[in-house]
C-alpha cells in the first residue's frame, strides 16, 4: 500500500511540474513581445518564430482562457509578416470556429482577407473581404475595405489609373 501511495504522490508531483503555468507563459510572452517590437520581422527571424511558438503554445495550453484567441490572432498577424499566409489563415479559421464569440471576430475575417491578399490569392482575398463587409458593415474598416476590394491585385500604377478613371466618370477630377 505504501508503494502505491508513494507512486501516486510521485505521479502527481511529475504532473504538477510538467503542467503549464499560465503566469510563467504570460511573462515569457510579454518579454518576447517587448524584444520583438524593437526589431523588424523577416522570414528568417528567430525572435519572431519564437514569439509565434509562444503564442501558439499558450493557446494550446490554455484553450479556455480569454487570451487564447487574442494570442492566436497575434500569431496570425505575425505569420502574415513572416510570409506564412497559409498558417495565418489556418489560425484565423481556428479562431472563427473555436471562438465565435471572440470580441474581435470581425477583425479575424478582415485579417483573413489580408492574409490571402499577401499570398497573392486575390480571388480568396476578395471573397474574405466581401464576407467581412457584408457581415460587419459597421466595423471601422468596412467602408475602406469595400472600396479597396476593387483594387486588389493591381499594381500601384493600375490602381492610380483606375481611381482617376473612376473620378473622371464622376466628374471629380479638377481641371
Extract the C-alpha cell encoding 86.
Answer: 497559409
- Please report, for the chain, the start and end positions of each structural domain, with discontinuous segments joined by +: 20-169
* CATH architecture under which domain 20-169 falls: Alpha Horseshoe (1.25)
- Nearest CA to 25 out of 59, 66, 72, 48 is that of 59
Question: What radius of gyration do the chain's Cα atoms show?
Answer: 22
Judged against a pLDDT cut of 90, whether residue 15 lies above it is answered with: no
pTM for the model: 0.78
Query: What's the pLDDT tens digit per position in 42-51?
Result: 655 888 899 9
pLDDT at residue 2, as a whole number: 47
Whole-angstrom Cα distance, residue 117 to residue 61? 31
Query: What's the pLDDT tens digit per position in 153-170?
Result: 988 888 888 888 877 766
Amino acid at each position: 500500500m505504501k508503494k502505491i501511495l508513494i507512486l501516486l504522490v510521485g505521479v502527481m508531483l511529475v504532473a504538477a511540474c510538467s503542467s503549464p503555468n499560465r503566469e510563467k507563459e504570460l511573462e515569457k510572452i510579454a518579454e518576447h513581445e517587448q524584444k520583438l517590437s524593437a526589431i523588424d520581422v523577416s522570414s528568417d527571424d528567430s525572435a519572431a518564430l519564437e514569439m509565434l511558438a509562444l503564442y501558439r503554445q499558450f493557446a494550446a495550453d490554455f484553450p479556455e482562457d480569454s487570451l487564447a484567441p487574442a494570442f492566436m490572432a497575434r500569431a496570425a498577424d505575425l505569420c502574415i509578416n513572416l510570409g506564412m499566409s497559409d498558417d495565418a489563415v489556418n489560425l484565423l479559421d481556428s479562431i472563427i470556429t473555436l471562438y465565435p464569440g471572440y470580441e474581435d471576430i470581425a477583425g479575424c475575417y478582415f485579417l483573413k482577407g489580408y492574409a490571402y491578399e499577401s499570398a497573392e490569392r486575390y480571388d480568396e482575398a476578395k471573397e474574405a473581404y466581401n464576407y467581412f463587409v457584408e457581415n460587419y458593415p459597421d466595423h471601422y474598416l468596412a467602408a475602406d475595405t469595400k472600396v479597396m476590394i476593387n483594387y486588389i491585385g493591381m499594381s500601384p500604377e493600375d490602381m492610380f489609373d483606375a481611381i482617376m478613371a473612376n473620378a473622371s466618370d464622376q466628374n471629380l477630377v479638377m481641371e
